[in-house]
Chains A and B, each alone.
Chain A
Amino acid sequence: MKYLGIEPQKPKIAVFDFTGCEGCQLQLLNKEETLADFLSAVEIVCFREASSLCSDDYDIAIVEGAVSRNDEVKRLEKIRETAKVVVALGSCACFGGVNRLKNEFDLKAANKEVYGKDPKETINVRPVKDIIPVDIEIPGCPVSKAEVESLICHVVWDSPFQLPVYPVCVECKQRFTTCLFDIGQMCLGPITRAGCNAPCPAGGIGCWGCRGPAVEPNYKSFFAIVKEKGFSDIELKERLNFFGAFGEVNVS
């Protein structure tokens, strides 16, 4: 059976990095207990961070990072021409990620502040889907390796693949974490898509929404609760804006 035009055989995979921290790629080399199996199920033909070989013959392009320079636009267009499936890996690729916080500043002034009289080329940060069509998005800052593995299984064996539709709260409660709202902190868990196993509430910093909205989040009642608990619109907006994953949601 074909999936997006690919025969179920060892798919040729290429990994590319754009503007980001490369932490998502690193997850591909993690999960040591299944690493060998993972690598034997696929043929990695290009993965600059891990290998000196690179071929232009690939089925799946895994793209990490956002776009913040014109040469990156051209590189992406070439990748789209070659690949049958383009996967956006991580919050930078899916939404622009934290890099998007740059867009709130005047780029000329920003450049002057960092580089003085030798400015470097830079454009407003955009997610991959703003440049080329993307077939599959795996959000997360960083991505969960388990999700990447199930995506690969899906492409190779056509096993079902779906990001969780429910919010982070579900996973958070399964871990028996004390709800942060009960100790006076904010958390985007009720409106954010699960799949990360809720590490941030467990660590005490609350969810910052790196995986983007859950399916049909109830923004209205969530915002009402946040306000009722005494948080300001600015605090809420800053959190929603942090990974660029909630677009132009209106908090009032």
Chain B
Amino acid sequence: MKININVDVHHLTRVEGHGNIKIQVKDGEIKEARWDIVETPRFFEVMFKNKHYTTIGILAARICGICSISHCLCSIRATENAFKVTIPETAAKLRLLAKHGETLQSHLLHVLFLAAPDFFNEPSVLPLIEKKPEVIAIAARLKGLSNRLCDTVAGRTTHPVAFQVGGVTMVPQKRHLLGLRDELKRSLDDLQIVADLFSSFTLPNFIRETEFVSLKGEKEYPFIGGSLISSDGVEQKEQDYRPMTNEYVDKNNTSKWSKLSRESYAVGALARFNNNAQLIHPKAAEVAAKLGLKPVCHNPFMNNVAQLVECVHVVHEAIRLIDELVESDPGETMAKVTPKAGEGVGAVEAPRGILFHHYKYDKTGRILKANCVVPTTQNNANIHHDMKSLVNKFGLTKEMTDEKLELLCSMLVRSYDPCISCSVH
């Protein structure tokens, strides 16, 4: 019997935004295996033009509802680099604390609400409310905490209001930070239970060697700014992101594609971990070891595990930051800002991977030209190439059905936690 398979997923579910999977196997031969982004473009890079620097961070946040804190922080960093502004230490700490809240929030949403239903064989998290109430209670508790952390530090979780070029405009009260610290401590037990749950899942044993791109940590696991590194040995400065990302337009996609040393590369939790594992918190490293995550891991499904490992890391780091913040006097939180003509690049590790904003300003502080390179934009080509390899490895057997392959390919895409409207922007 010759193998014939057709998978045609129009607007994949449980991912942010609109993407399609198309697979055709005819007489045992792969005719087509595609991942295409069909999201409507919003043209943010054009909308930025001629806007005043004080409004850019507010606008940039609207690129993405899930990682708005990352877009806002990346945007104001690009502007600060253009104007040569150094922000006060307390401001840097508060930004990083909000960033940790976002990483926790976004990873938990993905791991527990979007990816986990596949491992329980359910179409969504809704049936789990009755079938696995203890897991849902933990998920709600953890997500609630991460939202409260962002609300307290950024003023709002979706579309922050406390960050401006020059620093932060709101300092949370010490008693609120201490309350969060207690909750963060307690959440470590919940995270342990989630890790145990994940060790009971079987992830597909799929390996396709690829290149991983992320920030390069110097003393700490990296989140905001610094130099760039790839697992194939390429290194660049933050402002030289263009030769690192090499974006190009694909005719079937409204998202651009990227490549570096190979046909595609990957960004995200797995890339960060692969390139910076030695810097992750020891307790997070323990979870990684327990779940079988070792650098350099080339199984894209392990991105789910890397996200969980990072959750443990950011909770420990958030506790440390709160300790530092409550022990010292906040002092000044805004630096003086004087607009200058010139260019600046910001690089930030958003939950789904490295993000770049690049602005060129005129001397009055209005944007002449903008460019954004977004995590999922960089992942889309890699997902596309994984897809073919996945079909090749699992799809060409007699036991394979349209439904099974559809699920497997959907799970592959979901592992990357794609943020599609963000990738098109």
Q: Which of A22-40 contact B (CB under 8 A)?
A: 22-27, 29-30, 32-33, 35-36, 39
Which chain A residues lie closer than 8 Å to B147 at the CB level? 30, 32
Q: Do B40 and A122 have beta carbons less than 8 Å apart?
A: yes
Most B CB atoms within 10 A — which of A20, A30, A49, A238?
A49
Most A CB atoms within 10 A — which of B63, B117, B162, B410?
B162
Q: Which one, A35, A54, A142, A203, contacts B162 given CB within 8 A?
A: A203
In angstroms, Cα B327 to Cα A1, docked, is: 59
- Known contacts: A21-B68, A35-B140, A114-B41. The answer to whether A29 contacts B109 by CB under 8 A is yes
A132 proximal to B (CB < 8 A): no
B246 proximal to A (CB < 8 A): no
Q: Which of B407-425 contact A (CB under 8 A)?
A: 410, 421-422
Q: Do A44 and B126 have beta carbons less than 8 Å apart?
A: yes
Q: Do B251 and A19 have beta carbons less than 8 Å apart?
A: no
Which chain A residues lie closer than 8 Å to B158 at the CB level? 23, 26-27, 142
CB distance from B258 to the nearest CB of A (A): 15
B155 proximal to A (CB < 8 A): yes
Q: Do B65 and A199 have beta carbons less than 8 Å apart?
A: no
B340 proximal to A (CB < 8 A): no
Which chain B residues lie closer than 8 Å to A110 at the CB level? 43, 46
Q: Do B156 and A199 have beta carbons less than 8 Å apart?
A: yes
CB distance from A49 to the nearest CB of B (A): 6
Q: Do B65 and A22 have beta carbons less than 8 Å apart?
A: yes
Which chain A residues lie closer than 8 Å to B339 at the CB level? none
In angstroms, Cα B16 to Cα A240, docked, is: 29
Q: Do B169 and A105 have beta carbons less than 8 Å apart?
A: no
State which size class the interface on B falls in.
Answer: 35 or more
Kindly specify which of A93-101, A153-161, A212-220 makes contact with the partner chain. A93-101
Give per-residue flags for B124-150: 1 if the beta carbon is below 8 A from chain A beta carbons, else 0: 111001000000100011011001000
CB distance from A214 to the nearest CB of B (A): 20
Q: Do A32 and B161 have beta carbons less than 8 Å apart?
A: no
Which chain B residues lie closer than 8 Å to A118 at the CB level? 249, 251
In angstroms, Cα B46 to Cα A52, docked, is: 34
Which chain A residues lie closer than 8 Å to B242 at the CB level? none
Which chain B residues lie closer than 8 Å to A25 at the CB level? 65
A53 proximal to B (CB < 8 A): yes
B157 proximal to A (CB < 8 A): yes
Q: From A115, which residue of chain B is reached at the shortest CB distance? A: B249
In angstroms, Cα B154 to Cα A35, docked, is: 23
A50 proximal to B (CB < 8 A): yes
B59 proximal to A (CB < 8 A): yes
CB distance from A92 to the nearest CB of B (A): 9
A116 proximal to B (CB < 8 A): yes
Which chain A residues lie closer than 8 Å to B113 at the CB level? 29, 50
Q: Do A22 and B62 have beta carbons less than 8 Å apart?
A: no
Q: Which one, B123, B141, B159, contacts A142 given CB within 8 A?
A: B159
In angstroms, Cα B144 to Cα A35, docked, is: 10
A61 proximal to B (CB < 8 A): no
B55 proximal to A (CB < 8 A): yes
Q: Do B68 and A23 have beta carbons less than 8 Å apart?
A: yes
Which residues of B are interface residues toward A (Cβ below 8 A)? 11, 13-18, 40-43, 45-47, 49, 51-52, 55, 58-59, 62-66, 68, 109, 113-114, 117, 123-126, 129, 136, 140-141, 143-144, 147, 154-162, 164, 169-170, 249, 251, 254, 410, 421-422
Between-chain CB contacts (< 8 Å), 8 pairs: A30-B157, A36-B140, A39-B129, A49-B14, A50-B125, A52-B124, A105-B47, A205-B58
